[in-house]
Amino acid sequence: MKSQYRRQVDVKGFSFALLLSALISLPAFAGSEVGDTAPELKPKGWFNMESGTTWQDLEGKLVLIEKWATW
């Protein structure tokens, strides 16, 4: 009897934790769709460009964006 109660508590606890983690991760999947405008990038600096260069200055020009991370 005691082990059956413990098993029910374990299953309910696991189910609750699974549901909670799924709800928390939902905003992470809310990405952009095809055709959406790209988010504005605010670079700390430009490589081979003047420091005051803006995205408007680069409009109509080819821009290579290299994005990487080490995680």
Residue 13: the pLDDT is 84
Between CA 29 and CA 26, with CA 65 as vertex, the angle to 5 degrees is: 5
Backbone angles phi, psi at 3, to 5 degrees: -70, -35
pLDDT tens column, 12-64 = 888 888 888 877 876 665 667 778 777 777 777 777 777 777 778 888 988 88
Q: Please, are residues 45 and 52 in contact by the beta-carbon 8 Å criterion? A: no
Look at 45 and 10; give whichever has higher pLDDT: 10
